[in-house]
């Protein structure tokens, strides 16, 4: 019988700890498949964040780091500078990357650091139980914005891809979403392009992946996908924001 | 050579090929020197966006198996503490240089020893230690940096070299002498890319299960006991017949030496000096042994009294322990120390 699907050899057999309906699992698979298809398992080094993906080092069958909250781009910088031929990537959520780690990601991009950031944006702090993130939409209810995010009180959500694409050091920046199969396929292509930009020495690359958090959004997985499509994509438009020649 | 430059060159001579730092006075000559010297030896100097990033770049490079250093001064070292705690728990070797300035807060840029607690009692969160060297001359600063790389690699414990504005800024002759080479274990744990010929490298300080975290703590403590046994360094000066034992380190110990010579010659006060070269591990045993002959102890520091606590623990009530301290970047003068010795002598 023909094999139509198999788990990537770049994934370990450790079961995911992610909640049912969460899209982290899909994102992990796409990253692993890209590494496998590029034949870079022995050169890939990943940096896990603090947040829901804190245990990512258990799931990728490659050399891994676990970084302090927000510091993954700095850790990846050290790792890449020592072994410039390696494929070095960070895997970070929106609290980690866009809030506490804003300085690290901006300057990694500004330096044109030859690393790739896989950035999961689900508009909320997942691991700590659903607090307001820098990416939380205006009006969105979280455990620390129980009446909905009030822009006059705590400002506006950060569009990371648009912001970083203004920097000359950024070589490839794309925003994708995991809400249906065509978009999942696009997300994989984006990760592949970002990795290729890094390996070609073009500079910093980032793929922002719009993701669901059914547990903390208080929605079913199916409702979450609908919510992402209807609320996140209008504020966080999909597309390529930067592509260096 | 200027102290800061000697520290930087010593690191190069010790095989350090990666340096990540951020500007802060009075240590700027270290990154400046590294920025021109590293390219000559095929190394990497990178100015980070903050001290926080610099120490996390160190985490990345140390985890990749490199000899790596960062330097800063007190407020910047405070910012690095999170990263230092992670490095300690991930059991990564590296060297951190602190050219201490006065504080707390933004403080001043003049010499101080107010970071003693921060250096030897943790600094960051959790149960960890650093191997901490406190050189008293430019030559010793260079020696300590080279030794720090060897010891740090050997034990997989980060090492800190604690100078002050005086050590960093003054010029003295220096000779770069290779320290005793240790049989260094191969860095099979480093994240270089997983080729299947060894276990997968995971550079990590997260241990969510209580028994696993506890076992890591036990392993770290075992290494710390080894370090205490093997790495304690100190120097004695005129201790053979000393009635009063002064304990002082770094810049302060140089002034204390002057005061001892003068007090002996002019006043017949028999004072001697125990000078810790490593402040962790602290030379507690030599101090305890000195209580058999000395009748009183005096700790002199450029702080409001930090090391004196370790002196009191070592003396353990066997004799009185006095303290003389200066703050704000004021360096104690020999006459102040002599006045204190007179006071102690009268009370004896």
Q: Do both B221 and B259 map to the same domain?
A: no
The DSSP secondary-structure symbol of A43 reads T
- Residue A161 to residue A158: CA distance in whole angstroms: 9
Answer whether A71 sits within 8 Å of B193, measured CB to CB: no
As for how many domains chain B has, the answer is 2
CATH of the domain at B222: 3.40.50.970
Q: Do both B145 and B246 map to the same domain?
A: no
Strand B296-301 with B278-280, pairing: unpaired
What is the pTM for the complete model shown?
0.97
Residue at token pair 């788990």: A7
Q: Which residues in chain A have their CB less than 8 angstroms from residue B61's CB?
A: 78-79, 81-82
Answer whether A65 sits within 8 Å of B205, measured CB to CB: no
Q: Do both B189 and B224 map to the same domain?
A: yes
Structure tokens at B188: 């099979």
Answer whether A78 sits within 8 Å of B56, measured CB to CB: yes
Percent of chain A with pLDDT over 70: 100
Q: Which residue, B196, B231, B266, sits at the end of a domain?
A: B231
Residues 6+ apart with CB under 8 A from A213: A19, A22, A122, A123, A124, A126, A130, A224
Q: Do both B223 and B331 map to the same domain?
A: no
| Residues of chain B falling short of pLDDT 50 | none
Q: Do both B157 and B26 map to the same domain?
A: yes
Q: Which residues in chain A have their CB less than 8 angstroms from residue B81's CB?
A: none
Q: Do both B12 and B73 map to the same domain?
A: yes
End-to-end CA distance of chain B: 44
Q: Do both B80 and B160 map to the same domain?
A: yes
Q: Do both B112 and B180 map to the same domain?
A: yes
Nearest to A83 among B57, B82, B192 (CB): B192
What is the three-class DSSP state of B183? coil
User: B238 with B264: CB under 8 angstroms?
Assistant: yes
Closest to B66 in 3D by CA, of B53, B75, B57: B57
Ordered domains of chain A (ranges, CATH): 24-243 (3.40.50.970)
Sheet holding A116-121, edge to edge: A239-243, A170-177, A204-210, A116-121, A87-93, A44-48, A63-66, B202-203
Answer whether B193 sits within 8 Å of A67, measured CB to CB: no
User: A111 with A105: CB under 8 angstroms?
Assistant: no
Answer whether B203 sits within 8 Å of A62, measured CB to CB: no
Nearest to A78 among B58, B193, B205 (CB): B58
Answer whether B53 sits within 8 Å of A71, measured CB to CB: yes
Is pLDDT at A1 greater than 90 in this prediction? no
Residues 72-131 of A with CB under 8 A from B: 74-83, 86, 103-104, 106-107
Virtual torsion, Cα B322, B328, B334, B337, nearest 10 deg? -10
- Render pLDDT for A32-70 as a digit per residue (tens, 0 to 9): 999 999 999 999 999 999 999 999 999 999 999 999 999
Q: Which residue, B231, B257, B285, sits at the end of a domain?
A: B231
Residue-level pLDDT at B181: 86
- Render pLDDT for B45-88 as a digit per residue (tens, 0 to 9): 999 999 999 999 999 999 999 999 999 999 999 999 999 999 99
Nearest to A63 among B82, B83, B194 (CB): B194
CATH of the domain at B338: 3.40.50.920
| Structural domain that includes position B303 | 234-347
Q: Do both B225 and B239 map to the same domain?
A: no
Interface pTM, i.e. ipTM = 0.97
Q: Which residues in chain B have their CB less than 8 angstroms from residue A46's CB?
A: none
Residue-level pLDDT at A245: 85
Q: Do both B280 and B210 map to the same domain?
A: no
Q: Which residues in chain A have their CB less than 8 angstroms from residue B89's CB?
A: none
Is pLDDT at A112 greater than 90 in this prediction? yes
How far lies B288's CA from each of A39, A69, B323, in Å? Answer: 62, 43, 17
Q: Do both B42 and B149 map to the same domain?
A: yes
Q: Do both B80 and B119 map to the same domain?
A: yes
Residue at token pair 């690393």: A115
Q: Which residue, B186, B201, B231, sits at the end of a domain?
A: B231
Is pLDDT at A94 greater than 90 in this prediction? yes
């Amino acid at each position: 019988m023909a094999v139509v699907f198999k788990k990537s050899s770049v994934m370990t057999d450790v079961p995911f700890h992610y909640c049912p309906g969460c899209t982290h699992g899909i994102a992990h698979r796409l990253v692993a498949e890209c590494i496998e298809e590029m034949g870079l398992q022995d050169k890939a080094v990943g940096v896990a964040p603090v947040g829901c993906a804190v245990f990512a080092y258990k799931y990728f069958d490659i050399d891994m780091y676990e970084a302090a909250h927000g510091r993954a781009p700095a850790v990846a910088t050290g790792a890449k500078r020592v072994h410039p031929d390696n494929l070095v990537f960070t895997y970070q959520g929106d609290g980690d990357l866009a809030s506490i780690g804003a300085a690290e990601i901006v300057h990694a991009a500004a330096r044109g650091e030859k690393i790739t950031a896989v950035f999961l944006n689900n508009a909320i702090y997942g691991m700590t139980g659903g607090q307001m993130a820098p990416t939380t939409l205006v009006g969105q209810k979280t455990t620390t914005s129980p009446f909905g995010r009030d822009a006059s009180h705590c400002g506006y959500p950060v569009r990371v891809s648009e912001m970083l694409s203004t920097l000359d050091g950024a070589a490839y920046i794309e925003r994708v979403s995991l809400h249906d199969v065509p978009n999942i396929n696009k997300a994989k292509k984006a990760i592949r392009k970002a990795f290729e930009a890094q390996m070609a020495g073009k500079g910093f690359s980032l793929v922002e992946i719009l993701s669901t958090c059914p547990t903390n959004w208080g929605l079913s997985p199916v409702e979450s996908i609908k919510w992402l499509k209807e609320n996140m994509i209008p504020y966080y438009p999909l597309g390529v924001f930067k592509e260096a020649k | 050579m200027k102290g800061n430059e000697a520290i930087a060159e010593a690191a190069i001579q010790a095989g350090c090929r990666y340096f990540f730092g951020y500007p802060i006075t009075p240590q700027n000559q270290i990154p400046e020197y590294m920025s021109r010297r590293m390219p000559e030896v095929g190394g990497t100097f990178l100015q980070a966006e903050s001290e926080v990033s610099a120490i996390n770049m160190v985490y990345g490079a140390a985890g990749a198996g490199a000899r790596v250093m960062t330097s800063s001064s007190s407020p910047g070292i405070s910012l690095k503490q999170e990263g230092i705690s992670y490095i300690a728990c991930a059991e990564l070797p590296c060297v951190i240089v602190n050219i201490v300035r006065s504080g707390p807060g933004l403080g001043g840029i003049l010499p101080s020893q107010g970071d003693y607690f921060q250096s030897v009692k943790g600094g960051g969160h959790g149960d960890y230690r650093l191997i901490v060297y406190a050189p008293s001359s430019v030559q010793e600063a260079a020696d300590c940096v080279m030794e720090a790389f060897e010891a740090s690699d050997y034990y997989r414990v980060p090492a800190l070299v604690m100078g002050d504005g005086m050590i960093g800024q003054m010029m003295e002759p220096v000779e770069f002498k290779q320290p005793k080479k240790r049989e260094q274990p191969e860095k099979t744990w480093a994240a270089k890319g997983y080729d299947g010929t060894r276990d997968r490298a995971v550079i990590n300080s997260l241990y969510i299960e209580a028994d696993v975290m506890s076992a890591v703590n036990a392993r770290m403590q075992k290494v710390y006991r080894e370090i205490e046994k093997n790495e304690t360094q100190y120097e004695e000066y005129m201790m053979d017949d000393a009635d009063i034992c002064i304990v002082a380190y770094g810049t302060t110990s140089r002034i204390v030496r002057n005061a001892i010579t003068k007090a002996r010659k002019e006043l017949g006060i028999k004072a001697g000096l125990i000078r810790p070269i490593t402040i962790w591990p602290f030379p507690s045993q030599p101090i305890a042994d000195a209580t058999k002959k000395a009748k009183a102890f005096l700790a002199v520091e450029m702080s409001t009294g930090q090391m004196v606590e370790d002196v009191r623990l070592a003396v353990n009530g066997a004799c009185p322990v006095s303290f003389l301290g200066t703050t704000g970047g004021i360096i104690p003068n020999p006459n102040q120390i002599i006045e204190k010795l007179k006071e102690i002598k009268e009370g004896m």
